[in-house]
Structures are given as structure tokens and as C-alpha cells.
């Protein structure tokens, strides 16, 4: 073999090695783990969303004065010294909702957080509504520690489509306000808990921490936790030590995971996931992976073998598949072995 041929072959082997190497990313330890004992506080409350465009609780329109929604509005008005007989209420722009949130155990009074809002009654949509100031508690029969209010953002509400979408749940970014300091937290623990337990990821964290602070600093306990041993000055300042550990960079491989929003139809894939040959029929749409690309007939979606998740999702969207159908097809691909990734439907 000539020198030129050997050089060409070496370049080809190098190119194949580069393209076949698994994708890797640089991630901080603090993004992969939490400190043991950092358990978030869960808050809940009952409130009223106003300003709806006729999509509120139907009970308001039929004069059923005994419903919780009507009584809530009556009690709300009574706080402002306004008395309205329940049987006189004819509202369709109000909905009773449940408000939930998770708050960091270290958040202090004055801190803001996101809240989730979901309809309790038969409201068809919370789009355009505003949550009335709602007290939040950590458990029933306990005093309120926070409040929530603000405009509700509904996922999937889009003026550019004529397809009606139910939006009886939403969120309010920065809509919660902590008004009472949390109880005294336990001392900082030197154990790291992985957000997503994985033996290989835990081992990479141990190796990265030991490389940064010396052998024996980190020890693998199990796939979900890593023990830290702080010595000398580090033991005297555990907070500073943990902060330094959080900044250590770990080389990770993105998880093979496909996340699907069953309401909006959003599909997100990680880890360079590919789809193998398969044929799936569901809801009047047939997906054929392999045998060429392009739609050859109505209701038929064809993509090449080893196509990306994005290509498959784009083809299904173009064929008019509904979000639930897209989720069902990806679950079927996983069950058939054509998709070797975790499928999460939300």
C-alpha cells in the first residue's frame, strides 16, 4: 500500500471515529446533584381566576348557588363589604382553581417563585385569566406562609391555529411570594444526591472531584449518592467547600431521552437519538421508518432509516397528527425496539 493510500485510509478511520463517538457535554457538579437534605417545601392553595372570556366554570351560568365556586366568589366579595345573593350570580368569566408550588428550603421572605394553576370545576380554559391573591400553606389547617397572584400563562394557547385546545391549567412565573421565613434548616450535609441516579454518572462525579481536590475527597456510595470528605480548612467551612465542589466540571454523555408534551405536541430529544426501521399505524396515520423519505399518500409519513427524532416529529406534524397521537407513536416505536431511548410523556 502506497504512502498516499495509507494516509487516505487513516483519514477515513479518523473521520469514522469522530462521527461515531458519543456526544459529550461539560456539566457542573451542581447541575447534576443536590445536597442531601435540600428537600423543597410544597405549598398549596385554593383561589379564583378572573377575567376569562366566557370559558369559566359553567356552574356560574346556571345559578347553582350551592357550588364551592359560587360560595368562594360570595366570600371574596364579602371581604370588601359587598353582599351579593348567590342566586344572583351569573358569571362565566371566573373559575375556581388549585394553586401549587415547590419552594427551595433556603428561600427567604420576599423571595419569588413559580406557581402552577389548575381548574377545579368545569372551566374549559384559563387563558387570559388573572389569579386573585391566594394564600398558600404547606399543609391543611396551617397558617399561610406565602401568597400567589398574577396573569396565568396557558401552554398551547395559540391564536395562529383554528384547532380548539383545552387550557384548564397553566403557570405564573414569579407569581408566588414567600412572606414568612422557613424554619431553621438542618446543618449542611457533605453528601451529594444525584438528580437522576446513574452509576456511570456518579463515578464520573467522583473522578472529577478527586482530580480537583485530591484522592479520597469523594467516594461512590451508590448510583444515587456521593460522599464527600472535607479535611483541614475545608472541614471548618463546609459551605465554601460545597460551593467549590458544585463548580467542578464533569464530562457527561447526554441521556438518550425523548420528552413529549401530550397537550402542545412539543417533542424534545437528547443524546442524538435515532429511529430504526419500523411501521406504526395509529389514528389514521401510518409512519414508515425506512424505505425512503417523504409522504407518498395521504395519512402516510415516510422517513429514512436511522432518521432523527426531529425528522420523525416534523413528518408527523406535517401530516396533521395530534399531540396524543404523536406520543402514542413514539411509545410504540420504543416498544417495538426501533427507538432505544426513554420516552417521557407529560
Higher confidence at residue 165 or residue 215?
Answer: 215
Residue 294: what pLDDT? 55
The more confident residue out of 245 and 86 is 245
Domain boundary assignment for the chain: 26-35+186-252, 41-178, 257-345
Which range, 52-61, 172-181, 237-246, has the best average confidence (pLDDT)?
172-181
Res 115 pLDDT > 80: yes
The DSSP result for 135-186, as a single string, is EEBSSTTS---EEEEEEPB-TT--TT--S---B-EEEEEEEEEE-SPPPPPP
**CA pseudo-torsion sign 186, 226, 256, 335:** negative
User: For position 20, what pLDDT does the model report?
Assistant: 40
The larger pLDDT score, comparing residue 98 to residue 66, is at: 98
**CA separation for the pair 12, 28 (Å, rounded):** 34
Asked whether residue 253 carries a pLDDT value surpassing 60, the answer given is yes
Q: Which of 18-32, 198-212, 230-244, 332-346 has the lowest average pLDDT?
A: 18-32
Q: What would the mean pLDDT of 16-41 be, rounded to a whole number?
A: 74
User: What is the pLDDT of the chain when averaged over all its residues?
Assistant: 82
- pLDDT digits 0-9 by tens, 83-94: 666 665 556 778
pLDDT for residue 244: 93
CA 70 to chain centre: 33
User: pLDDT tier at 271 (50, 70, 90 boundaries)?
Assistant: low
Q: In which band, very low, low, confident or very high, does the pLDDT at 297 lie, cut at 50, 70 and 90?
A: low
DSSP secondary structure, 276-333, as one string: -SEEEEETTEEEEESS--S--STTEEEE-TTEEHHHHHHHHHHTT--HHHHHHHHHHH
Among residues of the chain, what percentage have pLDDT more than 90?
A: 40
pLDDT category of residue 13 using cuts at 50, 70 and 90: very low
Is pLDDT at 172 greater than 70 in this prediction? yes
Are 118 and 168 a contacting pair, CB within 8 Å?
yes
- C-alpha span between 59 and 187 (Å, rounded): 50
pLDDT at 32 over 50: yes
pLDDT, tens only, 47-70: 888 888 888 777 544 545 556 666
Amino acid at each position: 500500500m502506497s504512502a498516499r493510500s495509507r494516509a487516505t485510509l487513516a483519514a477515513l478511520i479518523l473521520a469514522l471515529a469522530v462521527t461515531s463517538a458519543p456526544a459529550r457535554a461539560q456539566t457542573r457538579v451542581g447541575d447534576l446533584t443536590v445536597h442531601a437534605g435540600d428537600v423543597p417545601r410544597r405549598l398549596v392553595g385554593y383561589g379564583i381566576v378572573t377575567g376569562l372570556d366566557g370559558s369559566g366554570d359553567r356552574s356560574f351560568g346556571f345559578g347553582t348557588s350551592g357550588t364551592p365556586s359560587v360560595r368562594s366568589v360570595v366570600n371574596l366579595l364579602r371581604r370588601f363589604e359587598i353582599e351579593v345573593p348567590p342566586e344572583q350570580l351569573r358569571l362565566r368569566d371566573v373559575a375556581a382553581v388549585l394553586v401549587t408550588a415547590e419552594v427551595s428550603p433556603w428561600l427567604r421572605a420576599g423571595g419569588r417563585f413559580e406557581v402552577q394553576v389548575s381548574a377545579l370545576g368545569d372551566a374549559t380554559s384559563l387563558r387570559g385569566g388573572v389569579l386573585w391573591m391566594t394564600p398558600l400553606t404547606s399543609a391543611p389547617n396551617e397558617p399561610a406562609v406565602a401568597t400567589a397572584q398574577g396573569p396565568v400563562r396557558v401552554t398551547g394557547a395559540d391564536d395562529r391555529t383554528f384547532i380548539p385546545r383545552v387550557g384548564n391549567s397553566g403557570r405564573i412565573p414569579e407569581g408566588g411570594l414567600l412572606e414568612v421565613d422557613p424554619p431553621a434548616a438542618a446543618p449542611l450535609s457533605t453528601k451529594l444526591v444525584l438528580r437522576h441516579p446513574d452509576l456511570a454518572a456518579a463515578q464520573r462525579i467522583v473522578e472529577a472531584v478527586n482530580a480537583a481536590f485530591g484522592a479520597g475527597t469523594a467516594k461512590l456510595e451508590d448510583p444515587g449518592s456521593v460522599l464527600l470528605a472535607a479535611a483541614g480548612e475545608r472541614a471548618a467551612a463546609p459551605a465554601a467547600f460545597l460551593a467549590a465542589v458544585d463548580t467542578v466540571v464533569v464530562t457527561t454523555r447526554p441521556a438518550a431521552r425523548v420528552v413529549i408534551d401530550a397537550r402542545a405536541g412539543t417533542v424534545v430529544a437528547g443524546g442524538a437519538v435515532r429511529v430504526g426501521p419500523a411501521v406504526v399505524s395509529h389514528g389514521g396515520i401510518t409512519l414508515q421508518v425506512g424505505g425512503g423519505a417523504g409522504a407518498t399518500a395521504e395519512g402516510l409519513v415516510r422517513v429514512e432509516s436511522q432518521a432523527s427524532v426531529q425528522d420523525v416529529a416534523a413528518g408527523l406534524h406535517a401530516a396533521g397528527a395530534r399531540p396524543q397521537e404523536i406520543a402514542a407513536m413514539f411509545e410504540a416505536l420504543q416498544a417495538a425496539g426501533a427507538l432505544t431511548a426513554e420516552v417521557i410523556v407529560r
